[in-house]
Each structure stands twice: as structure tokens, then as C-alpha cells.
Amino acid sequence: MLSVSAALLFSTAAEKSPVYDELIYPSAGLIQWKTGDFSINKTHPPLQKLLSGLPLLWARVPLPAKSRDQGMDEWRTGYLVFFQDLTHSRKWIFLSRIPTVLISLLLLLTVFIWLFIKHGVPSALVGTSLLAFDPLVLGNGSLALNDLFVTFFFFLSVALFFESLNGAWWKSALCGISMGAAIASKFSGIILPVLFFIFFCYQQIKNPRKQLPRLLLRLAVIFICGTFFILAIYQFKPSLFLDALKTSLFLRHGEINPGFLLGPISSHATWIYYPVALLIKTPIPILIIWIYSPVFLIKTKNNATLVPFFIFITGFIFLLAMASPNHFGLRYILPAVPFMAVASGIAFAKIKNKTEKMVFLLLVGWLAVETVFFHPHHMAYFNQFVGGPRNGYKWLDGSNQDWGQDLPALAHFLKKNGNPSLVLGYYGSAAPEAYGIQYQDAYSPAITNSFREEFINPPDPEKEYLAVSARLLADPQLKSVYGWLKEKVPIAFLGYTIFVYEITNDISAHQNLAQLYSLMGRKALLKREIDRIRRRGQVAT
């Protein structure tokens, strides 16, 4: 299972282009390794950035010639680190993703070991399978981002916490280090101390113990070790950590993003975002198992000691996500997923009915086959409730569907079709040139698009395509830019994220492009489109 998961994760990491803000993290880590400067992207803690930047340090990736003092922000810095040398860009992107892949595999191994020790091999295999073939895990586990890091350390911390209450002292210390690593990966990990205190109080109320001083000392060891680890990551400068935490909380408080669900969500209905996203993006077999398992365990009263706590953690994370005014994607509930996988593995171990066990295994088999079938497009996965990935862009955006990850698929398609001239509207921060894509820009909103020199297609190409990211096509705010494409039939839908249209002799397409360039004040591109229309014997209006 680990071999299959590794193959899926590594191949996805090698095949997909960097997503919208992925370039920031490993480049910030590289700078931190080389200069000790923690000020780049300080809204996120440094552990994941340092680990993702480590392969770049090993590969001797140079820092950009321009220094940050010359006005470079985190976006431009990330862009220049990876695309200063286009011949090595893809290799560097893959290297920066290796630590996330390894952490993802370590999460699977940890879940397997925990279930194996407690409930045996069948339980461990079933529970781990629900993680190994979950598109949400595979899609995010192949990116140089911090979501899988906080997910792994979050699960490990909780598992070690319960083991440490009556176990060896080193488990308490390891629990604290893991808790510190979770917080040092993503500030959402800061809910762990709160959870630990709630669990401790609950157990004391339910089962008062004479050894209360000893248990309090265990709790103190956990918090001390966690604090020490965080300070160590921040070079024992508490002011760096406090400033970063303050900056992060300030930005999150001031930033309101209710999300996109069949269009922008009303600020009064943001609570529906995560329930609907979970319902349409999670494979149906996982949904069935997730619903059945806790109901079965509670109904039969066979629930293991930790099952109520694991279900509580899942609900706690989900409710926190629902309560937030910012909805950037289903990846924000990733820390809850391993706990549901464990509860499902325990349920399988407790089932006595052979028919029910067989149905359970058939559901796992369905999940595995479907996930392999849609590989490597895990990020764009949607279940059959909405007609599958082809309709996903209509429902959700960003990290739920199109985050700029399919430039390689576009490059392959263009090469297969004789490398025609291309007009591109791209939702992403990568450099298409790194994938051999030479293009005339339509409207690509990523900040890094302003870093490149304008390219103009030949005046009268033999073949010309228009490629537009699904994210841009679905955005109601861009209706005046790309709305006219809703009436046209694409010749391809690459990776479920990029629509491709044939516009060689499509005068109306060039008229719309000319109108767009006119509104944007891009005179050279406007002239090109007007000339193109005239060459076809038409007059631009």
C-alpha cells in the first residue's frame, strides 16, 4: 500500500505545475537556510518552509540576483527563485515537494502502526486505505505546502497524548515535540494545547485519580517540550514567533473570503461551504464509511476508549472551519481526516457480520479503483453527486479544483497538435515558459504575470488556440472578459482545469480579444488582433 501511495504521490509531484501560492514556501525556506531571514512570508511558521527548502539547498539553487531590499515581495522572490533558470525549474519544483510526499507517507505509516497495535492487520489496512486513496490527501500531499505537515503532527500529537498519560515519560516529551512541530508548521496547530486541556479535564471529571499531581506534571512536560521546539525553530527568539503569530492573526481577522460555491457565497450563508464541499468532493465510498462507522460504534457500544475523542476532534475541527469567515478550500479540514480513518478502521475490526465486512471491503475497493482511474488529477476530483470532475469548476474554485496545476498537460497537448500559436488566460503563478509554452497573454490575474515581457503571436499563424483556466471561466467577476466563451464548444478540457478552443478562423473570438485588449490599454496586442481580423477580410467594430 505504501508503494502504491508513493507511486501516486511522487508521480503527481513530478507531473503537476506549482499551484497558485506554492512557490512562496520553499523559496522562503531556502532564504531562511542561507541568510537566517524569517521575514519573508512570516504569516506562516517556518518548519514546513525549512524542510521544503532543504532539497533546494542541497541542489545549490542560487538566490535571485536582486535582493529583497530592492523591493522584492514574497511572490516575486518565489517566482525568481524557481524560474531564474528555466532549464532547471521543473527539477527544483519536484525536489521542493519531496518532503511533503515523505510526510504524507509517514502519516499513512503512523495510522497503520497505531491501528495494527490496537486492532490488528485488517483494521490497519482498511483505515490506512481510506487515507492512501483519498484524493484530498493525494492532491495536497504532492505539493510544497504546509497542510500535510500540520495534519501529520496533529494526529501524532493526539495519539501520543493518550499514550503518554499512563506511559513512559519519553512519550510525554515526544508528544510535546510533535505538538510544537504542528504549531511550527501552521498556526492552526495552536488548537492542540486547547484540545489537550479539554481532554485532561474531561478525564479527571469522569475518572478522578489520586495521581493528579503526576498527571499535571505530564501535562507540563508536554507544554514545556512543545514551547522549546517552537523557540528552537525560531532560533530562540520569542519576539520572532510572537510577531509572526500576531501578523497571521491580524491578517486572518482582516481578510474576509466567504468562498465560491456555484458563485460567490453570501456572507450570511458561509456555514454551508464546508458541508457542501465535503459532500461533493469526497468519494462516495468514503462518505458511506464515514457515516456508518461512528454510528455503528456508538450503537453497538463497542467503541474503543479513544473513538469518542477522535469523533470529537473531527467535529471540533469541522465546526471551527465552518465558523471562520474565510473559506479557501477543503484542505483546511485535512487534520480531521486521519481521525475518521482510524474510527473507520476500528469499526471494521468490531464488525462481526461477514456481509457487512464484505460491503466494507467493496467500498474500499471502489475507492482505490476510482482514485487510480482519475490519477493524477486528485485536486480536481469531484464525486458523482455533481457529475464528476468535469463539472467541478462550476461548484468550487481554487485549491478545490483549479489552482494552476495543469501547465504540463497543456504543453503536452500543444506538442501533440503541432505547437500552434497560443493565446492563454492562466490562473496560476508559474511560468508557462518553463514547460515550453510560448503564449500571448489574454488576461491572467496572477501577480507574477506582470514579471514577464509581453509576447505577441505571429500576425497570421496557420493554427491558433485559446486556452483558459476553468477558474477564470467560472468567475462571475470575469464575465465581461471570458463570458463569451460560454457559447463556444472547447476542443479539449485538460486535467479538468484548462479549456482549449480553436480560434484560427474564429473572427468573433478575435473581436472579443481585441475588445479586451482595448479595455486593458494593451495597444500592441490590440493592433495584432485588429490586423488578424482584417487579414481574414473582416472589419473590426
- pLDDT per residue over 244-293, tens digit each? 888 777 665 556 677 888 888 876 678 899 999 999 999 999 999 999 99
Residue 310 has pLDDT above 90, yes or no: no
- pLDDT per residue over 414-449, tens digit each? 999 999 999 999 998 899 999 999 999 999 988 666
Phi, psi for 49 (deg, rounded to 5): -65, -40
pLDDT for residue 244: 85
The C-alpha cell that represents 73 in the structure block: 515581495
Helices (H) and strands (E) in the chain, counts: 23, 5
Residue 215 has pLDDT above 70, yes or no: yes
pLDDT for residue 452: 78
Quick one: DSSP state of residue 502?
Answer: E
- CA atoms of 341 and 130, how far apart (whole Å): 6
Residue 387 has pLDDT above 60, yes or no: yes
Q: Could you tell me the pLDDT band of residue 541, with boundaries at 50, 70 and 90?
A: very low
Which residue stretches of 420-522 are H helix? 470-474, 479-482, 507-520
| Amino acid, single-letter form, for residue 119 | H
Residue 24 has pLDDT above 50, yes or no: yes
Residue 47 has pLDDT above 90, yes or no: yes
Quick one: DSSP state of residue 329?
Answer: -
- pLDDT per residue over 352-377, tens digit each? 999 999 999 999 999 999 999 999 99
Phi-psi region of 465 (alpha: psi -120 to 50; beta: other; left: phi over 0): beta
Q: Could you tell me the pLDDT band of residue 539, with boundaries at 50, 70 and 90?
A: very low
Please name the residues in contact with 64: beta carbons below 8 A apart, sequence gap of 6 or more. 72, 77, 80, 81, 84
Which residue stretches of 21-88 are H helix? 24-35, 47-58, 74-83
Whose grid coordinates read 476510482?
Answer: 370
- CA atoms of 138 and 328, how far apart (whole Å): 18
Best CA proximity match to 67, nearest among 37, 90, 46, 45: 37
H helix or E strand, kind and range, residue 150: helix 147-164
The C-alpha cell that represents 75 in the structure block: 511572490
Q: What percent of the chain has pLDDT over 70?
A: 94
Q: For the purposes of burial, counting CB atoms within 10 Å of the CB of 262, is it exposed (0-12), middle (13-18) or buried (19 or more)? A: exposed
Q: For the purposes of burial, counting CB atoms within 10 Å of the CB of 169, is it exposed (0-12), middle (13-18) or buried (19 or more)? A: exposed
Q: Could you tell me the pLDDT band of residue 324, with boundaries at 50, 70 and 90?
A: confident
Mean pLDDT across the stretch 109-115?
Answer: 96
Distances 272 to 175, 256, 413, 536 between C-alpha atoms, Å: 34, 16, 37, 50
- pLDDT per residue over 122-153, tens digit each? 999 999 999 999 999 999 999 999 999 999 99
The C-alpha cell that represents 97 in the structure block: 515537494
Residue 54 has pLDDT above 60, yes or no: yes
pLDDT for residue 64: 82
- CA atoms of 297 and 294, how far apart (whole Å): 5
pLDDT for residue 231: 95
pLDDT for residue 540: 42
Residue 304 has pLDDT above 70, yes or no: no
Question: Please, what is the average pLDDT of the chain?
Answer: 90
pLDDT for residue 339: 95
- pLDDT per residue over 176-207, tens digit each? 999 999 999 999 999 999 999 888 888 777 77
> What residues does each domain of the chain span?
405-535
- CA atoms of 99 and 114, how far apart (whole Å): 22
Tell me, rounded to whole angstroms, the distance of Cα 192 from its chain centroid: 21
The C-alpha cell that represents 474 in the structure block: 467560472
Tell me, rounded to whole angstroms, the distance of Cα 39 from its chain centroid: 23
Strands 421-425 and 440-441: parallel
DSSP string, 357-416: HHHHHHHHHHHHHHHHHHTT--TT---GGGTSGGGHHHH--GGGS-SS--HHHHHHHHHH
pLDDT for residue 349: 92
Residue 87 has pLDDT above 50, yes or no: yes
- pLDDT per residue over 472-529, tens digit each? 999 988 998 999 999 999 999 999 999 999 999 999 999 999 999 999 999 999 999 9
Residue 18 has pLDDT above 90, yes or no: yes
Q: Could you tell me the pLDDT band of residue 378, with boundaries at 50, 70 and 90?
A: very high
- The sign one gets for the Cα dihedral 160, 161, 167, 171 is positive
User: Hey, is 421 helix, strand or coil?
Assistant: strand
pTM: 0.94
Strands 498-502 and 492-494: antiparallel
For residue 424, the cross-strand partners are 441, 467
